[in-house]
Amino acid sequence: MQRPDSSWDPFDDHVVDFALARLRAGERVALVTLFSIDGASPRPLGAQMAVTAAGESVGYLSGGCLESAVIAEAVEAMQAGENRLVRYGKGSRYLDIQLPCGSAIDLFFDVTTTLGDLERLDRQDRARQISTVEIGPAGGPHGPVLTRHYRPRPQLVVAGVGAAAVQLLRLAGVAGFATRLLSPDTPTQAAAMRDGILALPVPRTGHAEALAADARTAVVLMFHDHEWEQALLNAALASEAFYIGALGSRTTQQARRKRLLGEGFRAETVARIRGPAGLFHGAKSASAIAVSILAEIMQAEQERFPALATVAHPSTARDLALPAHDF
């Protein structure tokens, strides 16, 4: 993700936008993908780095023990102009580079990705659509192919007022979420905007037009006056949001549930609401509340979207693209 000062977060999980920007600037780029794992790995199959010929990179493929070697290999692959599959760790030709866990990983260095390839991924990402790409070395029908799913960034919509709402959005931005605040409170809006968070006003109770939640969206309601949440909560329940949370006591949650059931919502729909939101309750500081809720959101995201990539052989592989509502 590009920062407001035009620099790039080197530890971002999403690397396509960086690679695309560098290709558009006329630079060479290698896209490095975690292709297979023999044993354990701190990163999932399909994790990526993008590396320029000058050695600038975004993304990470280990806990910090491999990145320098990956950058050097990527630069060498770009100089040679050929893709390559390289093993690190157990069984590698690089005897001086060992993984602390005793495992091995294979990385695919792609130096032939085109501007058109990345522009297609970027267009679908901006439209919040999934893209599926097959990655692997050429050379016969029996070689393995990694099917990599490019999902849009998760986004967090917070509707609410106060310090905890802003702090949650700040932390989510650091965690790689696209963020948006809906609030009737001018000071809360101003605090969010100072951190570069998109803040939209909620002019009145019953106004929920700006919620716009897809299947990669978490929604959190953070009002102390719960009258403000009602229309927004109804809109969240009508959406495909993978997480819906709301502040308030257990008594408040019971009243919320009773109201929604009385309005005709099904019990399983109402059960989607995490209330009180968060992995631990009773926190009294904005930071603790935000950490508790963000942890629960990220746990729900991992459970909902577990696989980033799969490996198959071309002769047995089927189309593994996920349906549009299931990304």
The pLDDT score that the predictor gives to residue 242 is 97
In this structure, the answer to whether residues 239 and 299 fall within a common structural domain is yes
Neighbours of 127 (CB within 10 A): 8
Residue 316 banded pLDDT, cuts 50, 70, 90: very low
pLDDT by residue (tens digit) across 112-163? Answer: 999 999 999 999 999 999 999 999 886 545 567 899 999 999 999 999 999 9
136 and 180 belong to one structural domain:
no
Q: Are residues 51 and 94 in the same domain?
A: yes
Nearest 10 degrees: Cα torsion 276, 282, 286, 289: -50
Instruction: Let me know if residue 325 belongs to a domain.
Output: no
pLDDT of residue 312: 66
Find the mean pLDDT for residues 261-271: 95
| Helix-, strand-, coil-residue percentages of the chain, each rounded to 5 | 35, 25, 45
**Tens of pLDDT, residues 94-107:** 877 777 777 899 99
CA 190 – CA 159 distance, rounded (Å): 14
**pLDDT recorded at residue 138:** 65
> Is 2 inside a domain boundary?
no
Average pLDDT over residues 223-232: 91
| Peptide bond preceding 44 in cis form (omega within 30 of 0) | no
- Angle at CA 253, nearest 5°, toward 248 and 256? 110
Element (H, E) at 156: strand 155-160
- Given this model, what pLDDT does residue 146 score? 92
Least reliable range by pLDDT among 71-75, 179-183, 209-213: 209-213
**Number of structural domains found in the chain:** 2
- 285 & 187 share domain: yes
Sheet holding 84-89, edge to edge: 57-59, 48-52, 29-38, 104-110, 84-89
Write down the mean pLDDT value for the chain: 89
CATH number, domain at 240?
Answer: 3.40.50.720
Domain range for 132: 16-150
The answer to whether the beta carbons of residues 156 and 217 sit under 8 Å apart is yes
Beta-ladder partners of 58: 50
Q: What percent of the chain has pLDDT over 70?
A: 93
